[in-house]
């Protein structure tokens, strides 16, 4: 039953019905097409960056020139001409920094259309203007939203960051990375590239050279960030690559929850998105990073769509630190993304929860890496892949324990569901255990849900299918509840569906 529901529901999520495919007609400032050292200088100059930053970028650019496009992922796409792209595009009206009131109304309109509230007072009051829809109220019902500080990134620049003053009171720094470079250069210099170095991989190298904007978060010791932080990425300009860089640091004992959302207009040509996200958790700190990735997936024939080549990595630097990735992947023509955690600190913890849905001609190659270096470190991976249409959905993950990572613990579960016989679902896990005390478990079957739980549910009259769905849903709901309201509504719509069926 649940299976059938899922199949029906996923079928209705047709790629052609991409909701956010509209284009904002706004004049943009472009850097000249192509990539060379001058473009890197141009971007750095536009941002008014210090010399060391420019040097850092150039170093990245020079090492990128010697790097090769990775070919190991199970995705195929025509060769990208890196000289045929704009590496910088900014709305013209954004020339000077402005307050919210002065922002181009077209931009505000765009975000309103996307359901991203940029006006603080409105969110505070929980009131919306007529006709201004939120992500929650598709039926026009008013819903009081939680408070979320948002950094809105439009093409290459950050448009606005909300709730800055209130965050300042808590000593939390939340701003665009360009601003951080101006105001907190020492922090940026200390941490930038310390998790994903310039030469880490092809796309990270490219990003390091030309990244234009992104978010910067620093939570000082012992501070629990008073609200959810969020970035909303919007790609608008044509033939533009978006390269944003996010850097989040949680100092000793700090806590922060961060969300990321992405959309792009419907275009016939493919667009490139190569982001880098670095997370650093010090002793006893915790970072939760959630993504709802809904880039334009291309049409049913696979024309257009965003190439999402992202490097995300967290570093549990201190003892008892924790990093958790939650991702919902529904968009992009191609996804190449492996949010990872380096479990350096003793007793540190890494988590990865993923739901990847592919349809049409989408190709998803995603997964995680859990690298256990510290004693008693633990990690958990739960990945659910759903492939429909003519898509390919691959989970690729690595769990490794270093010799010194005694008593490391990992639990991995990845389930796949195929809908139709034109698609493919693949699992490519790597397990490397170099210490006998490490306990690694990898499961890709559904029959291993605790027999006790099954028995309990079934003895209350649920069928096996219902019982399994209930248990898995219950578990996932736990994860989803970590997401703030804004994301939950839309996400649930997609996930509520998906999970039931993945238990086949």
Partner 1 sequence: MNIALIKTPAEEAFGISLPHRRMEEWRWTDLRARIDRPYPAHQNTVVAKIDVDRLIASSPFAKIKTHRIVFVNGSWDQAHSNFTGLTFEMGVPTSSAIDDPLIHLNGAIEPAGLTLRFESNMDVLVEIMHITTKGAARSMALRNCIEVADGASATIIETYLGEGDYVLSSVMEFEIGLGARLDRVKVEHESASATHLSHVVTSLAKDAKLNEFTLTSGGALNRQNGTYTFVGENADAKIAGAYLLNNKQHADTRLVVDHAVPHCTSRETFKCVMDDHARGIFQGKVIVRKHAQKTDGKQSSHALLLSEFAEFDAKPELEIYADDVVCGHGATAGDINLDHLFYLRSRGIPEAEAKSLLIAAFVGEAFDNVVHDGLRDALVNYAANWLQVRKNV
The residue ranges that bind partner 1 (CB under 8 A) are 71-72, 403, 406, 416, 418-421, 423-448, 504
Taking the complex as a whole, how short is the minimal distance between the CB of residue 390 and partner 1, in angstroms?
A: 11
Taking the complex as a whole, how short is the minimal distance between the CB of residue 10 and partner 1, in angstroms?
A: 12
**Closer residue to partner 1 (CB): 77 or 430:** 430
Encoded tokens for 54: 């420019």
- Please tell me whether residue 46 adopts helix, strand or coil conformation: helix
Q: How far apart are CA 266 and CA 102, in angstroms?
A: 28
Q: How far apart are CA 265 and CA 486, in angstroms?
A: 21
- Please tell me whether residue 425 adopts helix, strand or coil conformation: strand
Given phi > 0 = left and psi -120 to 50 = alpha, else beta, which region is 171?
left
Q: How far apart are CA 418 and CA 329, in angstroms?
A: 16
Contact in structure between 258 and 326 (CB atoms under 8 Å): no
**Closer residue to partner 1 (CB): 41 or 442:** 442
E strands of 405-468, at which residues?
409-418, 424-433, 439-443
**Closer residue to partner 1 (CB): 224 or 426:** 426
Taking the complex as a whole, how short is the minimal distance between the CB of residue 244 and partner 1, in angstroms?
A: 30
Other Cβ atoms closer than 10 A to 461: 8
Entry field: residues in the chain: 504
Residue 114: name the closest of 292, 274, 255 by CA.
Answer: 292
Taking the complex as a whole, how short is the minimal distance between the CB of residue 3 and partner 1, in angstroms?
A: 11
Task: Indicate the helix (H) or strand (E) that contains 458.
Answer: helix 451-459
Taking the complex as a whole, how short is the minimal distance between the CB of residue 403 and partner 1, in angstroms?
A: 7
**Closer residue to partner 1 (CB): 143 or 431:** 431
Please identify which residue in the block is written with the tokens 């291993």: 448
Q: How far apart are CA 310 and CA 366, in angstroms?
A: 10
**Closer residue to partner 1 (CB): 208 or 502:** 502
Taking the complex as a whole, how short is the minimal distance between the CB of residue 400 and partner 1, in angstroms?
A: 9
Name residues whose C-beta falls within 8 Å of residue 349's C-beta, 6 or more positions apart in sequence.
316, 321, 322, 323, 343, 377, 378, 379
Taking the complex as a whole, how short is the minimal distance between the CB of residue 366 and partner 1, in angstroms?
A: 15
Taking the complex as a whole, how short is the minimal distance between the CB of residue 452 and partner 1, in angstroms?
A: 18
Taking the complex as a whole, how short is the minimal distance between the CB of residue 220 and partner 1, in angstroms?
A: 39
**Closer residue to partner 1 (CB): 108 or 497:** 497
Other Cβ atoms closer than 10 A to 125: 10
Buried b (16+ CB within 10 A) or exposed e, 287-320: bbbbbbbbbbbbbeebebbbbbbbbbbbbbbbbb
Contact in structure between 188 and 182 (CB atoms under 8 Å): no
Contact in structure between 365 and 328 (CB atoms under 8 Å): no
Taking the complex as a whole, how short is the minimal distance between the CB of residue 352 and partner 1, in angstroms?
A: 17
**Closer residue to partner 1 (CB): 480 or 499:** 499
Taking the complex as a whole, how short is the minimal distance between the CB of residue 39 and partner 1, in angstroms?
A: 29
**Closer residue to partner 1 (CB): 68 or 452:** 68
**Closer residue to partner 1 (CB): 427 or 473:** 427
Buried b (16+ CB within 10 A) or exposed e, 64-102: beeeeeeeebebeeeeeeeeebbbbbbbebbeeeeeeee
Q: What are phi and psi of 456, to 5 degrees?
A: -60, -50
**Closer residue to partner 1 (CB): 377 or 433:** 433
**Closer residue to partner 1 (CB): 46 or 426:** 426
């Amino acid at each position: 039953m649940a299976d059938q529901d899922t199949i029906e529901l996923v079928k209705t999520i047709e790629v052609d019905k991409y909701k956010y495919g509209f284009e904002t007609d706004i004049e943009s400032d472009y850097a000249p097409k192509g990539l060379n050292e001058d473009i890197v200088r141009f971007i750095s100059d536009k941002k008014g960056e210090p010399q060391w930053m420019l040097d850092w970028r150039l170093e990245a650019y020079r090492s990128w020139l010697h790097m090769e496009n990775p070919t190991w992922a199970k995705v195929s796409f025509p060769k990208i001409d890196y000289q045929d792209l704009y590496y910088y595009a900014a709305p013209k009206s954004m020339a000077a920094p402005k307050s919210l009131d002065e922002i181009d109304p077209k931009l505000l309109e765009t975000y309103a259309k996307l359901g991203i509230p940029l006006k603080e007072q409105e969110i505070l009051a929980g009131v919306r203007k007529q006709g201004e829809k939120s992500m929650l109220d598709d039926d026009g019902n008013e819903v009081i939203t939680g408070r979320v500080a948002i950094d809105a990134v439009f093409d290459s620049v950050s448009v606005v960051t909300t709730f800055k003053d209130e965050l300042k009171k808590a000593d939390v720094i939340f701003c665009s990375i360009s601003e951080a470079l101006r105001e907190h250069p020492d922090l940026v210099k200390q941490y930038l590239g310390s998790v994903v170095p310039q030469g880490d991989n092809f796309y990270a190298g490219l990003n390091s050279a030309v990244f234009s904007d992104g978010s910067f978060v620093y939570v000082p010791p012992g501070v629990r960030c008073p609200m959810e932080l969020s970035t909303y990425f919007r790609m608008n300009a044509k033939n533009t690559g978006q390269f944003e860089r996010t850097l989040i640091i949680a100092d000793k004992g700090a806590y922060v929850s961060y969300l990321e959302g992405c959309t792009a207009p419907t275009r016939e040509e493919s667009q490139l998105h190569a982001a880098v996200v670095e997370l650093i958790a010090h002793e006893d700190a915790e970072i939760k990073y959630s993504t709802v990735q809904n880039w334009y997936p291309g049409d049913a024939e696979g024309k257009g769509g965003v190439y999402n080549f992202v490097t995300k990595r967290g570093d549990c630097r201190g003892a008892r630190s924790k990093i958790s990735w939650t991702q919902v992947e529904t968009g992009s023509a191609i996804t190449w993304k492996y949010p990872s955690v380096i479990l350096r600190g003793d007793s540190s913890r890494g988590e990865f929860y993923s739901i990847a849905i592919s349809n049409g001609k989408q190709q998803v190659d995603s997964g995680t890496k859990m690298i256990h270096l510290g004693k008693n470190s633990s990690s958990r991976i739960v990945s659910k892949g759903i492939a429909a249409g003519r898509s390919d959905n691959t989970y690729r993950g690595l769990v490794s324990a270093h010799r010194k990572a005694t008593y490391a613990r990992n639990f991995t579960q990845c389930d796949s569901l195929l809908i139709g016989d034109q698609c493919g679902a693949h699992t490519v896990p790597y397990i490397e255990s170099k210490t006998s005390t490490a306990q690694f478990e990898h499961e890709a079957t559904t029959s291993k849900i605790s027999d006790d739980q099954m028995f309990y549910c079934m003895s209350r009259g649920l069928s096996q299918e219902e019982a399994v769905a209930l248990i898995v849903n219950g578990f996932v709901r736990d994860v989803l509840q970590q997401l703030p309201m804004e994301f939950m509504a839309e996400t649930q719509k997609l996930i509520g569906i998906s999970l039931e069926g993945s238990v086949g």
